[in-house]
Amino acid sequence: MANDSVSIVAAGHTQFGRLSETTLEDLIVQVTRQALQDAAIDAAEIDAIFLGHFNSGLVADGFPASLVLQADPALRFKPATRCENACASGSAAVQAGINAILSGAAELVLVVGAEKMTSNSTAQVTKALAGAGYQNDPEEASLSFPQLFGLAAGQYQERYQSPLSTMAAIAAKNHANAMSNPLAQMHKAMTFEHCNAVSESNPLIAAPLRLNDCSLISDGAAAIVLASSKRARQFRREVQIRGTSQVNDVLPIVQRDILAFEGPQRAIVTALRKAGTTLADIDFAEVHDCFTIAELLIYEAMGLTPRGEGHRAVDEGIVQAGGRLPVNLSGGLKAKGHPVGATGVSMHALAFHQLTGDPIGVAAPDAEFGLLFNMGGMAVANYATVLQARRA
């Protein structure tokens, strides 16, 4: 029998960072135990497991779904599936868990996202992530993701105006937010002036992108427990998933306008519509700032500003902590960290804490609705979620 809704009822989250003494298995086991403890359930009650994990050669573990079973003997023989959709692999796992419950195949689902990246050099990580780009065009295949998003920043300047000062302001904002997040990878304030100037400590990475325009190479994991409406009321905390959307675009960038961010726009608009909400209802958002230009383009895709005017979201304080729609209170991928398979699950875990009145880091006071947007590739795999706090 199909279920009519799905809620998040528990969450776990490791520290993000350079966790040199920790293996992928360690991360998965740690966060699974955290989530089960938070849910106050026996592992035997879990009906299905979904793991978000990109890998692309980052680790030797090519078959990690059953590593979740290492967390508790009662998980043995549970169905466990790995989900991969580039940097949106975590949200792919969340969506698979939601679908399992809505279909009636499960009542309680454990979703884990994990990635171990820092045992590789920067060059190795850059090459692994580039595997999420289009490989059948030699010119595109030669571009790293910093180069792809640098191309977007260059096109933005040609079409509208220079985005560099706004990108620097986004970086400074997200670093400031991360200072309050004990789980964030980087606890270092960055001034606008530092982020806006090319220097020895902020060199050009892929012109015009500077180091502080780029997200971090990270290890980490996050987990959530999903429940059907029937089961959710049995838990002490509940956040309802009001609307979700997955939109995939074509992979070759030559076939689309990379500044339009049509996939992100469609995903966000659809999730809001399914939730019966508008952007005006949203109290905070966690979005995929893999590069600062991406966060700027997401402002426009969300409808916060018209095309080419994303700077207003920053200039007018809309996206700042305490603003009308604060974005990336966690510090975002920019400063919280970006263990790619964990990112989408992390967004859901931290939003769960926000909406249950137990924020990890900067609070969005009395928040009722949260918007999450997780992206794989250059706006190729796009996932949006609208969450609502349970009100007594």
The pLDDT value given to residue 3: 84
Of the candidates 53, 288, 338, 348, the residue annotated as catalytic is: 338
Of the candidates 13, 53, 83, 87, the residue annotated as catalytic is: 87
Query: What phi and psi values does residue 127 have, to the nearest 5 degrees?
Result: -65, -40
* 50 membership: H or E segment, kind and range: strand 48-52
The enclosing domain of 45 has a CATH number of 3.40.47.10
Q: Is residue 389 in a domain?
A: no
Half-sphere exposure of 317 (CA within 13 A, CB side): 3
Ranges assigned E (strand) in 53-151: 80-83, 108-115
- Alpha-carbon gap, residue 20 to 42, rounded angstroms: 31
Greatest CA separation for the chain? 61
Q: Is residue 53 in a domain?
A: yes
Residue 120, token pair as written in the block: 């590789």
The pLDDT value given to residue 112: 98
Other CB atoms within a 10 A radius of the CB of residue 241 amount to 25
Q: What is the DSSP string of 203-271?
A: -EEETTEEGGGBPPP-BEEEEEEEEEHHHHTTSS--EEEEEEEEEE--S-GGGS-TTT-HHHHHHHHHH
**CA proximity to 291, closest of 345, 216, 195, 361:** 216
Q: Is residue 93 in a domain?
A: yes
Range of the structural domain that residue 80 is part of: 6-120+217-232
Half-sphere exposure of 290 (CA within 13 A, CB side): 24
CB 83 within 8 A of CB 51: yes
- Using H for helix, E for strand and C for coil, what is the string for 273-301? HHHCCCHHHCCEEEECCCEHHHHHHHHHH
pLDDT tens by residue, 330-373 = 999 999 999 999 999 999 999 999 999 999 999 999 999 999 99
Number of domains within the chain: 1
The pLDDT value given to residue 1: 63
Q: Is residue 328 in a domain?
A: no
The pLDDT value given to residue 140: 95
The pLDDT value given to residue 392: 61
Quick check: is 87 catalytic?
Answer: yes
Q: Is residue 322 in a domain?
A: no
Quick check: is 83 catalytic?
Answer: no
Q: Is residue 203 in a domain?
A: no
Q: Is residue 364 in a domain?
A: no
Query: What phi and psi values does residue 7 have, to the nearest 5 degrees?
Result: -130, 155
Using DSSP, how many helices (H) and how many strands (E) does the chain show? 13, 11
Q: Is residue 52 in a domain?
A: yes
Q: Which residues of the chain have pLDDT under 50?
A: none
Which residue bears the tokens 């990635």? 115
Q: For the chain, how many residues are written? A: 392
